[in-house]
Amino acid sequence: MAASMAKGLKSRWSGVHVALGHAVVEFPTIALIALGFSTVLKDIRVSIAVGILGGILLIYMGLSMFMSRREEVTKLEKAKDPKASKKRSRSKYDPFPYPPLIAGIITTATNPYYFLWWATLGAALILNAVAFSIIVLVVMSLLHWSIDLGWNSFLGFAVNKSKGFDERAYLAVFGLCGIIMLVFGGWFLASALKTAVGL
């Protein structure tokens, strides 16, 4: 969500690309679970490792986004000026110096609750679908992803429409995205460390 909103200020199609990046991780995950990989995702050591690494990365990205919000807004304002230079300075704090597709891959692959969901409820859905047929699994997977596609596309278009707003609206969007990533990153990291200490 944060990636779709942040990139949406620059491109109305950002949400679509973020959803495609999500699919790059999600469809192989579904295939692996259908082949019996869910037991690996349930391993407590895997959960701790993903939680620690994912939490640290999300905290970094959230902090970077929050700290760079004013500079990013300045670049967006310049982008609307046809006389502005085509050269764009890159923020040293920029958490998304890569395209939305890559942002979708990274924010999915570093989210421990993504793997937790697919190792539990998601795995149950997949196994039930496989019990019917592979076609049912494919249809279920596409329908599931279409919800992600619709939601992220809506966010990208909605935020892109906000280009008519003032500077405070931009700052609020970037600030909110940064805070969301900080909160979830802290939550993931704290949960993983608590689990590790309890072993």
- In the chain, domain spans: 2-198
Say what the pLDDT of residue 138 is: 93
Contacts 24+ apart (CB under 8 A), 91-95: 93/63, 93/64, 93/65, 93/67, 93/68, 94/64, 94/68, 95/6, 95/60, 95/61, 95/62, 95/64, 95/65, 95/68, 95/178, 95/181
For every residue of 58-74, which 3-state class applies, written as one string? Answer: HHHHHHHHHHCHHHHHH
| pLDDT(140) > 60 | yes
CA 183 to chain centre: 14
pLDDT in tens, 36-73: 876 776 678 877 887 787 788 778 878 877 887 777 66
pLDDT in tens, 175-187: 887 888 888 888 8
Say what the pLDDT of residue 91 is: 45
Model's pTM, two decimal places?
0.64
Buried b (16+ CB within 10 A) or exposed e, 75-99: beeeeeeeeeeeeeeebebbbbeee
| pLDDT(195) > 60 | yes
pLDDT in tens, 74-112: 665 555 554 544 444 444 444 556 788 988 898 888 777
Mean pLDDT of the chain: 78
Say what the pLDDT of residue 164 is: 56
Say what the pLDDT of residue 87 is: 46
Say what the pLDDT of residue 24 is: 95
Residue 19: pLDDT band (50, 70, 90) is very high
Say what the pLDDT of residue 178 is: 82
Length of the chain: 199
Say what the pLDDT of residue 149 is: 93
